[in-house]
Amino acid sequence: MNPIERPRRLRRDGLRKLVSENQLTASDLIAPVFVDATTDERVGIETMPGHERVPIEESVARVEEVLETGVEAVMLFGIPESKDERGSRAWAEDGVVQEATRRIASETNATVITDVCLCEYTEHGHCGVLENEAADDPRLTVKNDETLDLLRKIAVSHAEAGAEMVAPSGMMDGMVGAIREALDDADYADVPIMSYAAKYESAFYGPFRDAADGAPAFGNRRHYQMDPANSREAMREVELDVEQGADVLMVKPALPYLDIVRDIREEFDQPVAAYNVSGEYAMLHAASEKGWLDLQETALESLLSIKRAGADLILTYFAEDIADELA
Ligand code: PBG
């Protein structure tokens, strides 16, 4: 009789660690930070326990907290003091993200990445200029090319403020090329673009939309974000972004789309990022509050699975808690 194969031999504590195929480190993680120009004190975000919107004055202190855990990069989101039709506070020199970026970049060693989008800045909450405003108009759509002109301005204003990388999240066609050109023309050829290349129209963004006050006032984002049913389309989106000069390719959300992370990893050489979104964070918190799941363990397992699928970078609201654990 043949001896039985014994993979269990390598599973005892010390050996198990030696043979582990994937490791999570604090340097893989990016912590999202919300800066809010409408408040002068920190406000907790109910749907995302442990996270807050902080006033501009507190942005450096907030980022220092992140750095203390060992996480070195932050992704900034802004809540402007006012919103309008076209989201003009998104590219203002004294806008919330620009102010916070300037401070953080000059006073800390953090790597500052900025979200380039309009939904937090438009009164209607859509990621661009609207074609038609009637809430019940089935033709409601965001005008692609007009929106590109605004995205160029936002990206350049972030670079001017000191952003080390910009991350367009609006899913407009041609956005990476437009931003690349604008950055190059403004002498920011060295500022890379992390494109939200495959961003799905996902119900897992719910808590974020509360946090950043960016829910569409009417309609939905189906006509610009991707259909969760599609994977070949994701490859096409990524290919287009690569052609236009994307430096890092992001998939969002992460856990329900690990197949997409893997597909991109296999097809492309660029670094792959995955965004472990607000809903993925909120559901583990909710279950652990009920005593049904262990928060740290499930968070760690989730992030490890994202790495295993092929992500090099992970944006996650768990960044600080997990980094503490890894240290
Ligand atoms: C858009 C943007 C969104 C998220 C990041 N950037 C929201 C959306 O598309 O509705 C979601 C992040 C999350 O859920 O954690 N600027």
CB 313 within 8 A of CB 273: yes
pLDDT at 134 over 60: no
Residue owning the nearest CA to atom 16 of ligand 1: 117
pLDDT at 217 over 80: no
115 lines ligand 1 (CB under 6 A): yes
Helix (H) or strand (E) holding 113: strand 111-116
- Domain boundaries along the sequence of the chain: 25-326
- CA–CA separation, 121 and 187 (whole Å): 26
Residue type, 283: M
**Mean pLDDT over residues 213-228, rounded?**
83
Q: Ligand 1 pocket: which of 47, 83, 113, 119 to mutate (most atoms <8 Å of CB)?
A: 119
pLDDT at 16 over 70: yes
Calculate what percentage of the chain has a pLDDT beyond 70.
97
Sign for the CA dihedral angle at 117, 123, 129, 134 comes to positive
Question: Which top CATH class is 25-326?
Answer: alpha beta
119 a known binding residue?
A: yes
205 lines ligand 1 (CB under 6 A): yes
202 lines ligand 1 (CB under 6 A): no
Q: Which two tokens stand for residue 269?
A: 């050489």
Q: Which two tokens stand for residue 23?
A: 């490791």
- CA–CA separation, 163 and 157 (whole Å): 9
- 104 three-class SS: helix
- CA–CA separation, 153 and 167 (whole Å): 13
pLDDT at 138 over 90: no
Q: What is the DSSP letter of 84?
A: B
Residues identified as active-site:
199, 252
- 162 three-class SS: coil
Question: How would residue 211 be classed by pLDDT, with cut points 50, 70 and 90?
Answer: confident
117 lines ligand 1 (CB under 6 A): yes
What is the whole-number distance in angstroms between the Cα of residue 11 and the centre of ligand 1? 39
List the alpha helices (DSSP H) in 42-198.
59-68, 96-107, 144-161, 175-185
Averaged pLDDT score across all residues of the chain: 94
- CA–CA separation, 317 and 101 (whole Å): 19
Q: What is the pLDDT of residue 24?
A: 96
Q: Which residue has the higher pLDDT, 3 or 268?
A: 268
pTM, full prediction:
0.95
pLDDT at 139 over 70: no
65 a known binding residue?
A: no
**Mean pLDDT over residues 176-180, rounded?**
98
